[in-house]
Amino acid sequence: MEYGTVIRQIRLSQHLRMQDLVDSELSQPMLSRVERGEADLTLAKFTHLLNRLHILPSEFFRLAAADTPTSGSTFRGEFADFWQYWLTPEALTPAQLPQTLTQAEAMVHRDQAAYHAQPTRWQLIALRMAEVHLNNVRRHFPDLTPLPVDLTVIQHYLLNLDTWTTFDILVYGFFSLVFPPSVNMPLLKTAATHVPEATVLEGGTSALLEITFTQFQVFMAANKLDAAAATIEIEATLAKKADALAYTIVARFMGGWLTYMTRSKSDGKKQMQDSLTLFKTLDQPALAIRFGQLYHIRAELDRSVEPDLVL
């Protein structure tokens, strides 16, 4: 497939206009000619365009079905401090919190200025990430209250994606921790439908599988059993799309957990035990230990279940 055609498809799948991508390094007439196959970009401008699209080079060339060697580095565009947004204040000492609060406030002020200077959707998403991060830090100060954060633009963006990239999945993973269940469920269903095959994404599908399992636990803890059942179907669908047998077993374990809680403790227990056996058979010791711990926690919460599994 022609690269210009792929660029246009990616842009349209993200519901981006040409003017959303152009800047001092890339003009709209040039981008239009590239998409029509009438011009080529220099390597520097091509890299810049992928950065603006927030797509990995490897993802691009796989979508183009081209065997071109590419770098595995993450293209973060406006999200220069992407991983700083993910900082967990719980991991900090009390002495580190004041400085972390100051840094978080500075990130919000910087992203506010960037958005006012260039009010693009991406700049707004970056600002919302900074605001959520600031609230995560503020929760550790008794005299500070959370600031209101409007996440409507994030919901709208993700729900309307025609194709999810690895970066879209990471953005969703960040906001899934603050979205209510009523938002997470339709987003999970959308992702399961619009995430590409695993051969296109670099680790994005496995990240989405982890997000789905996390939401399953949230739904179970909130006794939202219908939603929990739906996440099992989503996990199984994603595992099949990703050709990830280990996560197919995770979905089976989830099903056993739900059965244990809703219908039959003995049947649910057996299904979870069978899943643990399969993890060991497939030489997945980390998953066997992780889900074995979950099994024992479940057993300890109910005296009728003997904690007789030894991994």
Look up the CATH number of domain 3-63. 1.10.260.40
Which pLDDT belongs to residue 81? 65
- Please compute the mean of the pLDDT values over residues 161-180 and round it to a whole number: 88
pLDDT greater than 90 at residue 291: yes
- Output the 3-class SS for the chain: CCHHHHHHHHHHHCCCCHHHHCECCECHHHHHHHHCCCCCCCHHHHHHHHHHHCCCHHHHHHHCCCCCCCCCCCCCCCCCCHHHHCCCHHHCCCCCHHHHHHHHHHHHHHHHHHHHHCCCHHHHHHHHHHHHHHHHHHCCCCCCCCCCCCCHHHHHHHHCCCCCCHHHHHHHHHHHCCCCHHHHHHHHHHHHHHCCCCCCCCCHHHHHHHHHHHHHHHHHHCCCHHHHHHHHHHHHHHHHHHCCHHHHHHHHHHHHHHHHHHCCHHHHHHHHHHHHHHHHHCCCHHHHHHHHHHHHHHHHCCCCCCCCCCC
pLDDT value, residue 122: 83
Average pLDDT over residues 270-295: 92
Among 44-58, 190-204, 210-224, the range scoring the smallest mean pLDDT is 190-204
Q: Give percent of the chain above pLDDT 70.
A: 85
- Domain boundaries for CATH 1.10.260.40 within the chain: 3-63
Q: Supply the mean pLDDT for the chain.
A: 84
pTM for the full predicted model: 0.76
Mean pLDDT of 54-61: 79
Of 277, 272, 278, the closest CA to residue 297 belongs to: 272
The pLDDT > 90 percentage for the chain reads 46
Q: Does the CA dihedral 113-119-123-129 come out positive or negative?
A: positive
Q: What is the mean pLDDT of residues 24-38?
A: 91
Distances (CA, A) of 218 to 89, 122, 225, 268, 286: 21, 28, 10, 19, 22
More confident residue, 59 or 119: 119
